[in-house]
Amino acid sequence: MAGTAIAPSAAYAGCCEPPPPITYAPCSTLGPIDWWYYNQPPPYVQSGVRYNIVSWTPVFEPAHGRFIQNTTSQTFTGTWTATETRTVTFQTSFTVTIASKAVMGTSITLAASVQVVQTRTTQLGVSATAQIPPHRTMLGEYGLQSLDVVMDVQTIGMLQDRQTCAFVPGNVSRHTAHAPTINEGWRFTLY
């Protein structure tokens, strides 16, 4: 898929097999499309790809973590302050252009209802407190929420009316992405 997009074709491709069925739909109903190629042979004027998001899994990526151990018989308040940063960058299982990552990011944002970004670095100096029970230990971690995404990448062709798109429903390739979100914060685990 890296850098190649071919518009669907109704032309008969071989001697012994029927051509694949082509689906036509208004381009506006197909979600974000990354238009790559212009001046395609008729009946198309341009082609590109869309990213159908199959699933996403939240991933916590810690930048800073510290344990506080309560060796007393009283509950006390622990205080944590982030003193280290972590940078997470959008990555995919295939090579795409920056524009493609932007369109892909928009597709993920719409599907997961959380804003993804191209790169994100956690903040320094963010503090939090938590109650630590007697004779227990608490781990406080400051970090970023990212998403591990599974998506189907599909070639789309725009017809000359510039409103109708065509695609072969089964013509998809499965790929993954790791996308940072705008969300960062503390996670506490009591031991």
Q: Is 94 inside a domain boundary?
A: yes
Under 8 Å CB-to-CB from 18, ≥6 apart: which residues? none
Q: Is 127 inside a domain boundary?
A: yes
Q: Is 8 inside a domain boundary?
A: no
**pLDDT of the residue at 65:** 95
Q: Is 10 inside a domain boundary?
A: no
Give the end-to-end CA distance of the chain in Å, rounded to a whole number: 47
- The two structure tokens encoding residue 178: 């790791």
**Mean pLDDT to the nearest integer, 18-40:** 85
Chain segment 146-177, per-residue pLDDT in tens:
999 999 999 899 999 999 999 998 889 999 99
**pLDDT of the residue at 6:** 44
pTM of structure = 0.80
**pLDDT of the residue at 9:** 47
**Mean pLDDT to the nearest integer, 89-96:** 86
**Closest Cα to residue 153, out of 55, 9, 57, 49?**
49
Q: Is 17 inside a domain boundary?
A: no
Chain segment 48-86, per-residue pLDDT in tens:
999 999 999 999 999 999 999 999 999 999 999 999 999
**pLDDT of the residue at 7:** 46
Indicate which CATH number applies to the domain containing 156.
2.170.15
Which amino acid, 15? C
Q: How many separate domains does the chain show?
A: 1
Q: Is 146 inside a domain boundary?
A: yes
Q: What is the DSSP letter of 27?
A: G
Residue 3 pLDDT exceeds 90: no
- Of 50 and 98, which is predicted with more confidence? 50
Q: Is 95 inside a domain boundary?
A: yes
Rounded CA gap, 64 and 177, in Å? Answer: 24
**pLDDT of the residue at 98:** 63
